[in-house]
Chain A
Amino acid sequence: MTLFIDLTLNGLSYGAIYAAVALGLVLIWRATRVINFAQGALATLTTYVAASLLDRSINSWVAFAAALVAGLVFGAVTERVFMRPLYGKPELNPVVVTIGLLILVESVAGAIWGSTDRGIAPPGGVSQSGIILGHTYLDFSAFDIFILGSVIVLMVLMLVLFRWTSLGLKMRASAFAPEVARLLGVRVGRILTVGWALATLAGALAGMLVAPLVFLSPNMMDPMLVYGFAAAVLGGLDSPVGALVGGILSGLGISYIGGYLGSSMETVGAALLLIAVLSIRPEGLFAAAKARRV
């Protein structure tokens, strides 16, 4: 029973992180119909930005905020420099450019900071010791609560932005009917830039949350991107709520499989589950019922 509780809690924290990565992928997919494979690498880069600030003894909350701001900037730059010229070209091209970026950005991180793993402390010295419940320590710390809390705050903010602000309305309009939006005076290009910036911010958050759990290295986000992508596909690429649910489900699933069936079944089990779910719901759990795109 203790094991079950620990596996659940462990799965929840990792699941929240996968959800943040998935949210970034969903935002970009909705806006530009691109799977951004560079999402993880960009998040690694923003985490290194925070790490270099920490090296200079700058307040850890400032470093945390700096990583998020760096996410906004990197996302915007990526869209303007690398994606903008490719709209209207064969649809695989921007995807392959993000693969190129993934390779390039990880090399840049490796060139600047080396490939040695580094430990990153949680911001503000939030404790990583397990919370005591009765006489047992749970596999759940103040930092785990922080992980879940910050991902939920991010989700809520995004939801508010989309539903209740004019920027959100413009973003939705640009994503689903760019021509109409343009006619209505929306500066679609600028809106897409904002979309990429926000998505990369979500990734940057994931990077800052996972670094204290798995250490920082140029390839830190590779598995996160893989699981985040699986989570986004599971939840439905058009649905931010799906990203959250998909992320949590992936986290729990991988934790249970690893704990009960052994680590070599983690990916095998995850793959089978993904295939099973998609066989029933080909566009993910939260797919909007919609007509065939022509």
Chain B
Amino acid sequence: MSLIEHRLPGAKSLERLRSQPLVWHLLLGVLAAAVLYLLTSSVSFYDNTIIAEIAWYAIAIAGLSVLTGGSGQISLGHGAFMAVGAYGAGLMMEHFRLPLVVPILVGIAAAALLGTVVGLPATRLRGPYLAGVTLALALAVQDLPTKFSSLFNGDSGIIVNQATPPGGVNPQRWLAWISLLAAILTMVVLANFMKSRFGRALKAVRDDDIAAQAAGLNPNRMRVLAFAVSAAAAGLAGGLEALWGGIVSPNSFSLFLSIQLLAGMVIGGAGTLIGAWWGALALVYVPQWTNSITSHLSSASTVTANLQNAVFGVLIIVIMMAAPSGIQGWLRAGYRRLRRRPSSLASALSPPLDLSSTSTPPERTSP
């Protein structure tokens, strides 16, 4: 591996680029966009739908990851922020004809606002107490559409006018592009956020808020901001989901969604942005695979019906047991092991991208 490193002609200039996080992250983002453009053009329309879904799941999980990894707070209510983003964007799309970016931004702003409001009392709460409050939030937000039925059309939800793509592009592919573009932008922004002075300060607060206070930081303000940023990402994910599903209904934002996001984050690797993608892949593909298997089984028994969730549950347990730092942590550990014992295998495996600084402790490499 190190051979490649030295022979790579641009290695020196790359080295220089890296010292400027914004430029570096943008460059990686542009490269990723190019790769993903090629990907979306070569797969089926249905796969594009799935790619879009993975993208908005990844955005939501990345937001949660920044909160948990960055400031050590746990939220069981990110589904609620997604709901607020989705309703915000959905209502704008329902009532006004605006360029797509406006409703999405409105959704983000609404979620960020709620994030700030929730973040304020949350500054005093730790661990499970914060989880309890955010859980209550997730439930409450789910009941609001029926309470204010004339605005939100209750349980049936509001129908979103899906934007017509320009130039006869297939709508599913168009959605995949929008979602991926949003996802890449989010990753770049969040990576910079965590790398910035602010991100480092946040970690200082997480690790020891008294020491951080002594160093002149205001832990409460940082926690609120972390909450707002995290909620904004969830709001973006919600807006994209509204666009993706064509409907915003409370049934899409059950407590189970919030729990899934948390599970997805930890499965992928808490505190890492790449891990968010692994988590999103797991959330989308595991039910998918098990469902395609079971729907072709001839007998529609209770066993086959429950197989899908059973496999998902087992997967969560197995990953947590086998890879305590999530998939990303496991890959990293594996990669490190390979570097220690250089072999021809090493060059065949592409190492995981590292856009973020990790908060998870390095996994012990016991045999």
User: Chain A: residues with CB nearer than 8 A to chain B?
Assistant: 29, 35, 37, 82, 85-86, 89-90, 92-94, 96-97, 99-108, 110-115, 226, 229-230, 232-234, 237, 264-268, 270-272, 274-275, 278-279, 282-284, 292
Bound-state CA distance A105–B310 (Å) is 8
Given contacts A89-B324, A111-B307, A104 and B128 within 8 Å (CB-CB): no
B324 touches A86 (CB 8 A): yes
A267 touches B142 (CB 8 A): yes
Q: Which residues of B contact A292 (CB under 8 A)?
A: 210
B147 touches A96 (CB 8 A): no
Closest Cβ–Cβ distance, residue B191 to chain A (whole Å) = 21
- Residue B91 CB within 8 A of the other chain: no
Q: Which residues of A contact B131 (CB under 8 A)?
A: 35, 233
Closest to B302 in A: A114
Given contacts A111-B302, A111-B307, A35 and B128 within 8 Å (CB-CB): yes
- Residue B140 CB within 8 A of the other chain: yes
Main secondary structure of the interface of B (DSSP, over half): helix
Q: Which residues of B contact A266 (CB under 8 A)?
A: 143
**How many B residues touch A, CB cutoff 8 Å?**
49
Closest to A96 in B: B266
B128 touches A101 (CB 8 A): no
User: Chain B: residues with CB nearer than 8 A to chain A?
Assistant: 68, 74, 121, 124-126, 128-129, 131-133, 135-137, 139-140, 142-144, 146-147, 210, 255, 259, 262-263, 266-267, 270, 302-303, 305-310, 312-317, 320-321, 324-325, 360-361
Q: Which residues of A contact B136 (CB under 8 A)?
A: 230, 267, 270-271, 274-275
The 16 sampled A-B contact pairs (Cβ below 8 Å) are: A35-B128, A90-B324, A92-B270, A104-B314, A104-B317, A105-B313, A106-B309, A107-B306, A111-B302, A229-B135, A232-B132, A267-B136, A270-B139, A271-B137, A274-B132, A279-B124
A93 touches B147 (CB 8 A): no
A101 touches B313 (CB 8 A): yes
Closest to A231 in B: B132
B317 touches A93 (CB 8 A): no
- The 10 closest A-B CB pairs, nearest first, are A104-B313, A100-B316, A233-B132, A103-B313, A271-B136, A107-B310, A271-B140, A107-B306, A100-B317, A111-B306
Closest to B322 in A: A85
Given contacts A86-B321, A96-B316, A104-B313, A29 and B143 within 8 Å (CB-CB): no
Bound-state CA distance A96–B268 (Å) is 12
Closest Cβ–Cβ distance, residue B127 to chain A (whole Å) = 8
A268 touches B266 (CB 8 A): no
Bound-state CA distance A270–B128 (Å) is 17
Closest Cβ–Cβ distance, residue A279 to chain B (whole Å) = 5
